[in-house]
């Protein structure tokens, strides 16, 4: 007579193995999510700190206060007069300040590719693009002022030409010097850059499911979409 093989012990053993395997996988996934979450928070903190330094850097670069030893790293133009050299030096001050803070811009830019890996290009592109655009605007204003300031003592053929010259010069000075115009053309763009990056980083550092924050985020994206059209 054939012996009956007990079934339930094997069934229970099999179930135990399956449960253990599932628990292991769930634990691994939970650990993985936790580690990724930690890395995201750390990256968000570093990014926010880097952009705070960029915000401060723009204010320092555009400061109307300057010293006689600033702008001396400019390469002299052969045959230039002392007056032209001085005007060129003054215009070069902002560019020299940018060069002296290049490490801050590079540090912020280096975080861009890490952020892209976690959040995607579309989400993080705007504040980084704005940072580079603002830096370019200040450099462009400095280059225009080098020419405009040297034209100040020249005669213009018509009153219209002189008026256009003043408009170009004052427009460049508004970008070059902080608060030299009302409203300041650069400050709102810096504020918008900081609002973009702060919203992204804060949602990672301090996640919230508050409905008001959710609607605020959707409204911000809706407004940005229509302003860009």
Boundaries of domain holding 132: 8-67+93-141+168-227
CA distance 95 to 92: 5
* Domain presence at residue 114: yes
Does 212 reside within a domain?
yes
Closest residue by Cα to residue 131 from 196, 66, 43: 196
Distance from C-alpha of 112 to C-alpha of 88, rounded to nearest angstrom: 34
- Look at residue 203 in the predicted model and tell me its pLDDT: 83
Per the domain annotation, does 42 fall within a domain? Answer: yes
Q: Would 88 be classed as within a structural domain?
A: no
On whether residue 63 sits in a domain, the answer given is yes
Q: Is residue 2 assigned to a domain? A: no
pLDDT tens, residue order, the chain (229 aa): 455 555 666 666 666 555 554 554 444 444 344 554 577 888 888 999 999 999 999 999 999 998 889 999 998 888 999 999 999 999 999 999 999 999 999 999 999 988 888 888 887 899 999 999 999 999 999 999 999 999 887 777 888 989 999 999 999 999 999 999 999 999 999 999 999 999 888 888 776 544 455 555 555 665 555 555 5
How many domains, the chain? 1
In a domain, 222, yes or no: yes
User: What are the backbone dihedrals phi and psi of residue 69, each rounded to the nearest 5 degrees, phi first?
Assistant: -90, 5
pLDDT of residue 16: 58
In a domain, 77, yes or no: no
Structure tokens at 225: 């979409």
Distance CA 206, CA 41 (A): 9
Written as six digits, the tokens of 122 are 């579309």
């Amino acid at each position: 007579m054939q012996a009956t093989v007990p079934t339930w012990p094997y069934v229970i053993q099999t179930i135990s193995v399956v449960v253990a395997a599932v628990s292991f996988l769930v634990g691994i996934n939970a650990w993985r999510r936790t580690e990724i979450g930690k890395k995201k928070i750390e990256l968000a903190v570093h990014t926010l700190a880097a952009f705070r330094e960029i915000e401060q850097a723009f204010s320092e670069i555009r400061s109307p206060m300057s010293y006689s030893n600033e702008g001396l790293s400019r390469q002299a133009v052969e045959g230039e007069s002392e007056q032209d050299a001085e005007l060129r030096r003054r215009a070069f001050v902002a560019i020299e300040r940018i060069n002296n803070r290049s490490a801050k811009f590079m540090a912020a830019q280096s975080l861009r590719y890490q952020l892209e890996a976690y959040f995607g290009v579309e989400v993080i592109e705007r504040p980084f693009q704005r940072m580079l655009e603002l830096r370019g605007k200040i450099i462009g204003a400095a280059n225009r002022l080098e020419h405009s300031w040297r034209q100040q003592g020249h005669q213009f053929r018509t009153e219209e030409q002189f008026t256009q010259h003043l408009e170009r010069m004052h427009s460049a000075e508004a970008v070059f010097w902080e608060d030299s115009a009302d409203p300041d053309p650069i400050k709102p763009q810096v504020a918008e850059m900081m609002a973009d990056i702060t919203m992204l980083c804060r949602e990672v550092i301090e996640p919230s499911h508050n409905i008001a924050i959710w609607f605020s985020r959707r409204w911000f994206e809706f407004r940005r979409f229509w302003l860009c059209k």
